[in-house]
Structure 1
Amino acid sequence: MGQILHGSATTTHAIRTAIQRSCASNAALSRELGINVKTVAKWRKRQTVEDVRMGPKEAHSTALSVEEEAVIVAFRRHTLLPLDDCLYALQPSIPHLTRSLLHRCLQRHDISRLPGMEGDKPKKKFKRYPIGYVHIDIAELRTAEGKLYMFVAIYRTSKFAFVRLEKKVGKMAAAQFLRDLIAALPCRIHTILTDNVLCREFPAA
């Protein structure tokens, strides 16, 4: 199998091996091999003859902030909605989010595949509800700038998702979220479902 070298490499694996095994000085090897003395010193210090991977140590987006990625990841894990449903629900909060940006973000965090796909555990199915049932939950996100709270509502009949980010959880934020949710839905809400204690802040529907 052929060796793969960095585009700017001035040495081969054989030369690097010879440098690491040689007892000659760096200056002597530099003259003998016709390469820079710093290159000799670099390969003499290393434990391998392979090039070091270039670029960022950890993959990250140049279009999405750390906070936006945290929201996307939390929303996906919380709702288990398909890609396009996630995109539709998140775009009001992240206007520059595109389908390709979303897909790459999910891939980076190893959640691009939903449970229930080939090789995974079966996806837990929602219980069937008649029109008018909405499940509301609140997830706490920790970012470099502090805490954010993600309000999530899922209309049980159609799986329509509505999401909002808030810096604080309280009656004012909860009431405004509920008003905006009611305005976004074509049908009247008559029952709110939740298993989150924070959702007690929501007024009765």
Structure 2
Amino acid sequence: MEIKLHANATTTPRVRKYLQESDKSDRELALELGISVTTVRRWRRRENTADRLTTPGKIHKALRQEQVALINALREMLQAPLDDLLFFVTQGLEIPLSRATLNRYLKPARPSRGTLLPKGKKALSAGIVPQQLNLHYFLLSLHREDDGEHHLLMAQEPVSGWWYARVYAGMSSRLLVNWLEEALTHCPVNIQCVETKGSSWCGIDLPAALDPWLLDKGMHAILISPPVDAQPVIVSTPLAEIIPVARNSTPDELVARLCLLVNEGRTQKKLGGITPQAFLQALRRDAV
């Protein structure tokens, strides 16, 4: 019969059985068999002679299901490597977890649609300059403790990964224009066009709401067709139970905190070892 032992085993099942049945002292058996006293005591305490499994019998989850969904959504939006994502989760959301735990709960990345555009310094080398904002809209159906329905508006500069986002309790054409004007004011570079998915957000006709204002600014919009159905993001648990920092922050303050960390909190290799904010500011200075 083939006997499989642990790679570092110093005893065989026959020796272990002898240890368990012997009347000699631990020290005498250790000297007799050329093993340590600790090994003798370990096997004398056990009732069998087989090696124990080295893998844990039960893996305890450190994250709630809602936290896993949130972190994977954040990863997809930011397209951040593991160490950067860990920084945003632990510092921005204040969810305590290790790098190994985070990696365990990340889902496989979705296959990209079409050709991925270069980012950072590679984009500049390819002649792609930061002059466009990609606009995103999400309808948030939050728990009643978080005041129910909210609207998340996000603007991203794709070359640097710079973000500007706000959360509003209501939605209107005027609010949309005011938000976009805020985003352009905060963005360190001169934006020439904006890109949206679909032609309607929360019943608002995007061309009717944005085109006159953009034309007045000397800019233009690119609408992605066909329209994308914005499915509401339903959160049936209070945010404070999912995101520790939400205990003392409103949803709007929370996304503002994340944007600040993304833009100024961590340097990125693809940007030449600086933050997205510093990357865009350097381009603006060079253009002057």
TM-score range (shorter-chain normalised) is 0.3 to 0.5
Q: TM-score, normalised to structure 2's length?
A: 0.36
Q: TM-score, normalised to structure 1's length?
A: 0.46
Greater relative contact order structure (CA < 8 Å, 6+ sep): 2
